[in-house]
Structure 1
């Protein structure tokens, strides 16, 4: 069995170990990032939706940075939104703060009914820069 090349952001390893998943795995020149939510350091949800979305992106950026990437390296995005009909506009006005300029990554948006107390989750696949592909 191949050992997974796991990427942990600073200060959150215990949270991932407690929940039994890897925040990201490097494989074949790509970084596969688990869904990130707007969780505080203790894992609890940020109650304000706009701040929760910002915190989800900040948590995502911490993982990307730990792998030597930025959001510019992201090629595919999947977002999960609770009650998108009522929350989409609030969420999507935050996205440009983090998204960058065109051309943008591919995007799949999925409406869900439950995210463990969160309202927004983002998972991505990024291309690793050649200097960190190993």
Structure 2
């Protein structure tokens, strides 16, 4: 599968994401929102740790569908009580996860997620051969 990432002239230069993904493949993969909870249900600590764990979960889910992070074409990130000051923790978790660039990404601040101790959730779509 091939994903081409594009940052068109005329749009602001993005920081940490890409404006456009063009995907060629035959299978669309939609993941349920992944949070910073391990297989036993234990929630990781702070925003950086939960981001890292959530992305590990994304990787596991993608692998189960025969895909990788290279096949991701759209990511929506939900962060509880988002403030720009939290960007450092979010990006630290992204970097530690080894997931690479998330491609086209939307970040949405929310009041809460499904459980009170959850701080971040990743909603991911991929296209694979």
Question: TM-score normalized by structure 2?
Answer: 0.69
Q: Which has the higher helix share?
A: 1
The 3-state SS of whatever aligns with 2:93 is: coil
* RMSD, aligned α-carbons: 1.7
Aligned to 2:61: 63
Q: How many positions carry a matched residue from both structures?
A: 100
For residues 12-31 of structure 1, give each alpha carbon's deviation from its aligned partner in whole angstroms, at most 9, with x where no partner exists: xxxxxxxxxxxxxxxx6200
In structure 1, the partner of 2:119 is 119
1:89 aligns to what?
88
Question: Relative contact order (C-alpha < 8 Å, sep 6+): which is higher?
Answer: 2
Q: Which runs of 5+ in 2 are unaligned?
A: 1-25
2:30 aligns to what?
32
Q: What displacement does 1:59 show?
A: 0.6
Give the C-alpha shift of residue 89 in structure 1.
2.0
Tell me the CA shift for residue 107 of structure 1. 0.7
Runs of 4+ in 1 over 4 A off after TM superposition: none
